[in-house]
Chains A and B, each alone.
Chain A
Amino acid sequence: MTEHSYPNTQGKKKGVLFFLMKARATKPGETYGVPGQGETRLLSIASILFIIFVWWLVTSMGWVKPLFLPSPQAVFGKFIDVWNKGFTNTPFMEHVGISAARVFGAFLLACLVGIPLGIAMGMSPFIRGVFDPPLEFYRPIPPLAYLPLMIIWFGIGETSKVLLIFLSVLAPVALGARSGVKSAAIEQIHAAYSFGASRWQVMLQVILPSALPEILTAMRIGIGFGWTTLVAAEMVAATKGLGYMVLTASQFLQTSTVIMGIIVIAIIAYAFDLLMRFVERKLVPWKGRM
């Protein structure tokens, strides 16, 4: 390779890439801002509308067969249909309810176990030494790989389903809490000690609040893993749930139900993430500012 392919900043032709990367004023009177500043909401809405438009275009022009990709209207129609009549004799809201109970139940358990565990790992070399190997060992394994073990050990009931989701949430939450422990500055810790604080007070009144931003981020990441694992958890011996609905529909080539189920899962997960972001703004407005 003899010629390099950097955009020519001196020349008159400037490509799209150059336009996107170019530093520019983000507010009036401000010449150069931090990269990544700026409002994105309108662009996001436009992006969603554009995807739906392309989806509508390729289906209504008959470029893609409905078996592979049903039209937006068909998917919406299926949603109304399932909403009214249910899926495999179970009302739609019961599918949503049971899946939400599994994911949020497992998430809650994982937070109750993972956050104290992570903090303890951050605070004590002993606990870190004991729990680091098992956590790091199972963390990269896909839940589908140990699903059979869960079923052999805990049966095909609710336990193995919730446990599978629990495990997928536990690792990110615990690791986030563990690294959050390091957020407190040594000066903050020393300040507390110099007022005669006990180790316990330092943990509750300095280390824990400092770790809160990272714990909240870890919870957001964790719940994402939870939803990712839902379909795997509902693969075996489930008769209800959004994952079950998607899997069953796919076996009968009901593509519209599959897509509808995917969108419903995505919307619930996104709504919860928005809630978490709101909680973050209320609880840790100082995040990244001190």
Chain B
Amino acid sequence: MGLNVKQASVVYPTADGRPPVEALQKIDLDIVDDDFVVALGASGCGKSTLLSLIAGFLSPSSGEILLDGGRVQGPGADRAVVFQKHALMPWLNVLDNVAFGLKLQGVGAEKRYDIARGFIKLLGLSEFESARVYKLSGGMQQRVGIARALTCDPKVLLMDEPLGALDALTREKAQELILNIWHTTAKSVFFITHSVEEALFMGTKLIVMSPRPGRITHRFDLPFSRQFLDGAPAREVKASREFIALREEVLKIIFSDEEALA
């Protein structure tokens, strides 16, 4: 049960007789229970393609994606997506943005605002309920995006570099916020990032991907987010000996991929 990616490949045919591009090659991945799966990899390794596949924006050339045993046919509210940016509706205020998904599903005004307010509170946005989203800071816009994704009670939360556009300080705070929310809601999460430190700190499972063809080359189980949720201060976790050792190991893998490409 949960989400299972089975032998999924994405192949783009190319013109003029060159060999087709394999964006993803026979990916196997399980995201079950309260897994927090983080994907890392050099650019072009197919992280975002994998997320699009799970979200249903893209269908696999071969293989399949199963959610609780049923085949994923297209996008759906059971797999909510948080994007890096540009995904809010500037013509709606914060409350209406958060309630946007429920509105699309035909939930009545009173009920959807009720639900939306709950998540607005969870993300600490209560004061900004009627604010225009384009006037908010990047960090707050991202919190609106997360609240919106949570309203429809998804089974899996897909996050495509949600913190990539934030400044370092806001980013660390947002990491802690996301971990706390993950802990509260107990969702499965699939999270893409470019930051090795972020990946190690947040995930329970790490997959490292390599380009050409896009594939999973390494898998790690991570203890760090649990340590944080059990009360260890975030900086202390990130400065621990085993954290640094693993960080260097993963960096080495990614750098060698980048060099192979250059």
Q: Are A194 and B91 in contact (CB under 8 A)?
A: no
Cβ of A191 under 8 Å from chain B: yes
Q: Are A194 and B77 in contact (CB under 8 A)?
A: yes
Give the nearest-CB partner of A283 in chain B: B91
Q: Are B90 and A196 in contact (CB under 8 A)?
A: no
A25 partner residues in chain B, CB cutoff 8 A: none
A194 partner residues in chain B, CB cutoff 8 A: 55-57, 75-77, 79-81
User: What is the CB-to-nearest-CB distance from A175 to chain B, in angstroms, rounded to a whole number?
Assistant: 23
B76 partner residues in chain A, CB cutoff 8 A: 194, 196
Cβ of A190 under 8 Å from chain B: yes
Known pairs A191-B81, A194-B79, A195-B152; A205 contacts B104 (CB<8 A): yes
Q: Are A209 and B91 in contact (CB under 8 A)?
A: yes
Cβ of B201 under 8 Å from chain A: no
CA–CA, A133 and B84, complex, Å: 39
User: What is the CB-to-nearest-CB distance from B246 to chain A, in angstroms, rounded to a whole number?
Assistant: 32
Residues of chain B from 63 to 97 with CB closer than 8 A to chain A in the complex: 74-77, 79-81, 83-91
Q: Are B104 and A201 in contact (CB under 8 A)?
A: yes
Give the nearest-CB partner of B151 in chain A: A195
Q: Are A197 and B91 in contact (CB under 8 A)?
A: no
Q: Are B77 and A286 in contact (CB under 8 A)?
A: no
Known pairs A187-B85, A286-B132, A290-B133; A192 contacts B104 (CB<8 A): yes
Q: Are B90 and A190 in contact (CB under 8 A)?
A: no
Give the nearest-CB partner of B80 in chain A: A194
CA–CA, A26 and B43, complex, Å: 41
Q: Are B91 and A284 in contact (CB under 8 A)?
A: yes
Contact of B55 among A190, A206, A290 (CB under 8 A): A190
Known pairs A190-B75, A191-B81; A196 contacts B105 (CB<8 A): yes
User: What is the CB-to-nearest-CB distance from B171 to chain A, in angstroms, rounded to a whole number?
Assistant: 19
- B interface residues, how many (CB within 8 angstroms): 29
Task: Tell which of A185, A192, A197, A290 has the most Cβ of chain B within 10 Å.
Answer: A290
Give the nearest-CB partner of A209 in chain B: B91
B152 partner residues in chain A, CB cutoff 8 A: 195
Residues of chain A from 166 to 205 with CB closer than 8 A to chain B in the complex: 185, 187-188, 190-197, 201, 205
Give the nearest-CB partner of B145 in chain A: A191
B105 partner residues in chain A, CB cutoff 8 A: 195-196
- Mark each residue of chain B from 134 to 167: 1 if its CB lies under 8 Å from any CB of chain A, else 0: 1000000000000010001000000000000000
Cβ of A285 under 8 Å from chain B: yes
Known pairs A193-B57, A193-B75; A187 contacts B89 (CB<8 A): no
A289 partner residues in chain B, CB cutoff 8 A: 90, 134
User: What is the CB-to-nearest-CB distance from B28 to chain A, in angstroms, rounded to a whole number?
Assistant: 24
Give the nearest-CB partner of B92 in chain A: A209
Give the nearest-CB partner of B97 in chain A: A191
Give the nearest-CB partner of B74 in chain A: A193
A212 partner residues in chain B, CB cutoff 8 A: 91
Q: Are B77 and A195 in contact (CB under 8 A)?
A: yes
A185 partner residues in chain B, CB cutoff 8 A: 86-87
CA–CA, A286 and B96, complex, Å: 15
CA–CA, A284 and B133, complex, Å: 13
CA–CA, A185 and B88, complex, Å: 10
Known pairs A196-B75, A196-B104, A197-B104; A286 contacts B90 (CB<8 A): yes
Q: Are A187 and B83 in contact (CB under 8 A)?
A: yes
B113 partner residues in chain A, CB cutoff 8 A: none
Cβ of B46 under 8 Å from chain A: no
Contact of B86 among A187, A193, A201 (CB under 8 A): A187
Residues of chain A from 246 to 289 with CB closer than 8 A to chain B in the complex: 284-286, 289
Q: Could you write out 27 A-B pairs with CB less than 8 Å apart?
A: A185-B86, A185-B87, A187-B83, A187-B84, A187-B85, A188-B86, A188-B89, A190-B55, A191-B83, A192-B104, A193-B57, A194-B55, A194-B57, A194-B77, A194-B79, A195-B100, A195-B101, A195-B105, A197-B104, A205-B100, A209-B91, A212-B91, A284-B91, A286-B90, A286-B91, A286-B134, A290-B86
Kindly list 11 other residue pairs between chains A and B, CB separation below 8 angstroms, not including A188-B86, A191-B83, A290-B90: A187-B87, A190-B75, A191-B81, A191-B100, A194-B80, A194-B81, A195-B77, A195-B152, A201-B104, A286-B91, A289-B134
Instruction: Report the 5 A-B pairs with minimum CB-CB distance, sorted nearest first.
Output: A195-B101, A286-B90, A187-B87, A185-B86, A290-B90
